[in-house]
A and B are shown apart, each in its own frame.
Chain A
């Protein structure tokens, strides 16, 4: 993925974004084609279930080649730097929500989610974040568990459950 500006890259690449996009597209198309090739065509149906997706994937690969070609022929946008901090924190927050919810309920996992994700903001103020998170979780429990009656555990503790 885009790690840094490839301005210092080879000078014959005129649209770095297009070239990288084209390569990514072709790699994805190759993975999809590989997965589609494993589908057995011995079914009684006249047409292989892989036929339609294969047509689409070959078109995608052709599009990828055109993107690469365009990147060499035409001036295009470069690649931007992607700060990893927000990506990692937001992903971590969502994953911990998935891990913790079945065990402790969404009141706990939601709090963890908001606190981790909140750190991704550059101007984070931790005390404000904690306060807002606690209030919002409280409101969510009232809304989702008591008003909308979602069948989802809000809080699971060995001695108490909501």
Chain B
């Protein structure tokens, strides 16, 4: 405990430096902005900003990027409550009761409950992150290559199961992502793999090109197809402070949502999507009067909002302690760290303690900032909702292009981005999710490196993969999970949850 306190003290001393406070604020503002705006999410935004983080010190860039991610969770709920549209995918659940409250003239209270719930959850999740990441990292130091290989496989299986849509297609998407990761000059043999004679592919594909293409451009192409109705805010926001009974009813859901979110965030997969849904289902189940849900029950706003914010923070644990990103946003964070020359994993705590603790402390500061950004300043964000998509998307496109071009000043990078944009659209048309592909891409390199190490250490003996009890258990777990997901009953349940969510 005293160690934790002194670590946190170190963290706050870093996070409270002038530049880092500014970067944290910037991240939270950008996060709220893109959270409020439907049509652009944290994945696209972070990939657009990746090239610009090159010039910022590692701690500062992580503080800013993290701020964007959890800031988007706050902003997304604003749009969900006020215009019955998910600003972010993770705020879909909030629409049901949040918008019902708004229609009953309690929009202000719903916004306040969402923000306060998120704040409580964020504070708790920060402590979880600080307390659990390092011990987990210490355990990770004892893992051999076969254990790491098995761990990555287990992570991928989790991500596949928790991804929406077809299981089979998610598997294929992950595999394609892994294949894309092998493009370029092989580090160990110097062989050129899948470069198709293109010199710009010799160094491999850049994560920001892939992410900007598939998520940034691909989403634009997808949105342009369906004419979006202009979001309308009909009701007045009303008094911001929730009533005493609303606060009383929300306390339990916030605490339970925080716990659910913290736990689900650590699991690989889309924790921020699943956690609010799990919280909503739980609250509805234990409620004395489930019929109020869907008609403006404050529990249905406070619980899920707390859950998604907690998950948005604890999902940093596997990234920082094991070097394994549990979702697509964390995959980009891994990219951001790699650009800075930092390899996430157990050694982060000893080599870059300032990075880890600075980020943890900044999350708490950021959550406090977001409370101010989102409640008293709500009017600003509401007016931004009036920006029309026909002007928003050329601007997004412009920032994608300038950002990408500024890195290498190669026109080919931009062409590749456009190409992946079309790929992203095609994926959506054929029913594939893009997030597993990106996750596969980011994990691919580590997966192959460990795969090779195992084979070399075992002298080509394939049983080496299951020789260590840890690896065998993890692989068995992955196999059981995957086969359980194929069972008709489980499959149906999974589809119900994820389709509705």
Question: Which stretch (B314-322, B345-353, B387-395) binds chain A?
Answer: B387-395
Inter-chain CA distance A114–B409, complex, in Å, is 19
Contact flags (1/0) for A149-160 with B, using CB distance below 8 Å?
A: 011100000000
Whether A53 contacts B194 by the Cβ 8 Å rule is yes
Whether A36 contacts B194 by the Cβ 8 Å rule is yes
In the complex, what residues of B have CB within 8 A of residue A117's CB?
393-394, 397
In the complex, what residues of B have CB within 8 A of residue A79's CB?
429
B178 at the interface (CB under 8 A from A): yes
In the complex, what residues of B have CB within 8 A of residue A150's CB?
402, 406
Whether B188 contacts A67 by the Cβ 8 Å rule is no
A136 at the interface (CB under 8 A from B): yes
A-B contact count (CB 8 A): 190
| Tally of contact residues, B, Cβ under 8 A | 61
Contact flags (1/0) for B212-245 with A, using CB distance below 8 Å?
A: 0000010011001101000000000000000000
B405 at the interface (CB under 8 A from A): yes
Known: A40-B191, A86-B225. A95 touches B415 (CB 8 A): yes
Closest Cβ–Cβ distance, residue B39 to chain A (whole Å): 12
In the complex, what residues of B have CB within 8 A of residue A32's CB?
179, 194
In the complex, what residues of A have CB within 8 A of residue B425's CB?
82, 87
Contact flags (1/0) for B172-201 with A, using CB distance below 8 Å?
A: 100110110010001011111110100000
B143 at the interface (CB under 8 A from A): no
Whether A120 contacts B224 by the Cβ 8 Å rule is yes
For B410, give the chain A residue with the smallest CB separation: A98
Inter-chain CA distance A24–B406, complex, in Å, is 34
Inter-chain CA distance A18–B431, complex, in Å, is 8
Cβ < 8 Å to A, chain B residues 387-428? 388-391, 393-395, 397-399, 401-402, 405-406, 409, 411-412, 414-415, 417-418, 421-422, 425-426
Contact flags (1/0) for B236-278 with A, using CB distance below 8 Å?
A: 0000000000000000000000000000000000000000000
Closest Cβ–Cβ distance, residue A149 to chain B (whole Å): 8
Contact flags (1/0) for A60-74 with B, using CB distance below 8 Å?
A: 100110110010000
B485 at the interface (CB under 8 A from A): no
Q: Which of B193, B217, B227 is within 8 Å of A50, CB to CB?
A: B193
Whether A77 contacts B431 by the Cβ 8 Å rule is yes
A99 at the interface (CB under 8 A from B): yes
Known: A47-B452, A82-B225. A110 touches B398 (CB 8 A): yes
Q: How large is the interface on A (under 10, 10 to 19, 20 to 34, 35 or more residues)?
A: 35 or more
Known: A82-B425, A82-B429, A95-B415. A46 touches B460 (CB 8 A): yes
Known: A35-B196, A49-B188. A128 touches B391 (CB 8 A): yes
Whether B191 contacts A49 by the Cβ 8 Å rule is yes
Known: A35-B196, A90-B221. A113 touches B401 (CB 8 A): yes
In the complex, what residues of A have CB within 8 A of residue B217's CB?
90, 94
Whether B390 contacts A83 by the Cβ 8 Å rule is no
Whether A43 contacts B169 by the Cβ 8 Å rule is no
Known: A21-B431, A47-B455. A86 touches B409 (CB 8 A): no
B448 at the interface (CB under 8 A from A): yes
B365 at the interface (CB under 8 A from A): no
In the complex, what residues of B have CB within 8 A of residue A151's CB?
406
Whether A152 contacts B402 by the Cβ 8 Å rule is yes
B384 at the interface (CB under 8 A from A): no
Inter-chain CA distance A146–B299, complex, in Å, is 49
Closest Cβ–Cβ distance, residue B148 to chain A (whole Å): 15
Closest Cβ–Cβ distance, residue A65 to chain B (whole Å): 11
Q: Which of A77, A80, A90, A101 has the most C-beta atoms of chain B within 10 angstroms of its own C-beta? A: A90
Whether A90 contacts B421 by the Cβ 8 Å rule is yes
B430 at the interface (CB under 8 A from A): yes
For A35, give the chain B residue with the smallest CB separation: B194
Inter-chain CA distance A39–B186, complex, in Å, is 11
Contacts from A to B (Cβ < 8 Å): 1-2, 17-18, 20-21, 24-25, 28, 32, 35-36, 39-40, 43, 45-47, 49-50, 52-53, 56-57, 59-60, 63-64, 66-67, 70, 77, 79-80, 82-83, 86-87, 90-91, 93-95, 97-99, 101-102, 106, 109-110, 113-114, 117-118, 120-125, 128-129, 132-133, 136-137, 140, 144, 148, 150-152
Pick 28 A–B contacts, CB within 8 A, sort by A.
Answer: A17-B431, A21-B169, A36-B193, A39-B191, A47-B460, A49-B186, A49-B193, A52-B451, A56-B182, A63-B175, A67-B168, A90-B221, A90-B418, A95-B418, A98-B415, A101-B411, A109-B401, A110-B398, A114-B398, A117-B397, A121-B393, A129-B390, A129-B394, A137-B398, A140-B399, A140-B402, A144-B406, A152-B402
